[in-house]
Amino acid sequence: MMRKIKASSAQAMLPIDRFARWVLIAVTAFSILLLIGPSLIVIAISFEPRAYIAFPPSGFSTRWYQAVFANQQLLDSILVSVRISLAVMAICLLIGVPAAFASIRGTFRGRAALNAFLLSPQMMPGMVIAIASLFFGAYIAFRASDLMLILSLSVFCLPFVVRIVMARLADLDPLLDEASANLGAGKLETFVRVTLPQLAPAICAASAFTFIEAFDNVTVSLFTSDVRARPLPVELYYLVQFDSSPIIAAISSLEIGLSFVVMLIIAKAVGLERLGR
């Protein structure tokens, strides 16, 4: 006797499990809403035509975006932030990539300790790094400035580069290097001609990630930035407190757009899943 049971590949379930499944789905849906909802709301209100925020917006207008681009102070701070973030990116790549290389390929004793040390800024609260930089700078008579912001942000961002590049390096086959050596290439030549090209996607992702982390960082910036040339996060920090017009929503939406660009770059380069590890 043949009997059609169920055309599904799932297994049969107890009533309590079916109930639990719905609870799980509900909590998950709520969490997802919580993750992206606030950003979506900010984007929505940035198109508000009136001078105060409302949701849903009372109409559609791009006046607050125009206001952003007409605001010299904001534009200046964006420029400062771009400059600083590029510098941070450069420093982190220059010292981070070789460090990741040593930390994966090295044969010296204390490699684990090196690893831990390279990633240690991650364990350090951003605020502590910032204050410490400020105090140390003051101690050696070095004022809060663009340079100090760059140096302290680089400490904060270094682990991102090290981690992303390390993950990629660990996947590379060291035999390729040996093959290159066997074919007569020196160590540096092997690194430049064999290893570096294979690392390119990881370096690309690490650059994008470092840039946006430096660009967005408000904690460190509040302590070590130059008071006369505020970077964007600091400017925004004051705006949020003292301005209630949708212009903040407009800048925020632009930043959200930037984060999507960065996400696309990372997705293209190494895949988003990598970031989780």
Backbone φ and ψ of 172, nearest 5°: -75, 150
Is 1 or 183 the residue whose CB approaches another protein more closely? 1
Is 39 or 61 the residue whose CB approaches another protein more closely? 39
Least Å distance between CB 98 and another protein? 3
Residues 247-266 within binding reach of another protein (CB under 8 A): 248-249, 252, 255-256, 259-260, 262-263, 266
Q: Applying CB under 8 A, does 186 fall inside the site for another protein?
A: no
**Distance (Å, whole) CA 14 – CA 223:** 57
* Site map 214..253 versus another protein, x via CB under 8 A: -xx-xx--xx---------x--xx--xx------xx--x-
Select the residue interacting with another protein from 22, 139, 173, 184 (CB under 8 A).
Answer: 139
**Torsional sign, CA 35, 38, 41, 45:** negative
Cβ neighbours around 206 below 10 Å, total: 30
- 37, 158, 223, 239 from 273: Cα distances, Å: 22, 20, 33, 35
Q: Applying CB under 8 A, does 207 fall inside the site for another protein?
A: no
**Distance (Å, whole) CA 207 – CA 88:** 9
Residue that the structure tokens 């008071």 belong to = 227
Residues 62-121 within binding reach of another protein (CB under 8 A): 91, 94-96, 98-99, 101-103, 105-109, 114, 117-118, 120-121
Q: Applying CB under 8 A, does 2 fall inside the site for another protein?
A: yes
**Distance (Å, whole) CA 47 – CA 32:** 24
Select the residue interacting with another protein from 72, 112, 125, 242 (CB under 8 A).
Answer: 125
Q: How many CA atoms lie within 13 A of 222 on its CB side?
A: 10
Is 89 or 134 the residue whose CB approaches another protein more closely? 134
**Distance (Å, whole) CA 122 – CA 178:** 34
Q: Applying CB under 8 A, does 127 fall inside the site for another protein?
A: yes
Is 10 or 183 the residue whose CB approaches another protein more closely? 10
**Distance (Å, whole) CA 205 – CA 209:** 6
Residues 6-35 within binding reach of another protein (CB under 8 A): 6-14, 16-17, 20-21, 24-25, 27-28, 30-32, 34-35
Q: Applying CB under 8 A, does 196 fall inside the site for another protein?
A: no
